[in-house]
Amino acid sequence: MQTTSSAPTYTATLLRSDRITAPESKEEVRNLVFRTDDPGFDGRIGNCIRVLAPGQYGNPY
């Protein structure tokens, strides 16, 4: 666990990303499935999380 703000951050790997809103919807809600080896992470269904991707817009370059 790393702490860069008042909220803890964890390292995880995204295993699945499924859109759960209709394709014609303006909003996009996704079901994300992560794997982490950090025992301190207590993610639960329905939780709101922030995802910090590496690089600008998640690009490694």
pLDDT tens track for 3-57: 446 778 888 888 999 999 999 999 998 888 889 998 888 878 888 888 777 777 7
Residue 14 covered by a domain = yes
Residue 60 covered by a domain = no
The label of the residue with tokens 């817009």 reads: 57
**58: pLDDT confidence band, cut at 50, 70 and 90?**
low
pLDDT, residue 42, reads 81
User: Is 28 in contact with 19 (CB distance < 8 Å)?
Assistant: yes
pLDDT, residue 21, reads 95
Residue 22 covered by a domain = yes
What's the pTM? 0.60
Residue 58 covered by a domain = no
Q: How many domains does the chain have?
A: 1
Residue 51 covered by a domain = no
Element (H, E) at 15: strand 13-19
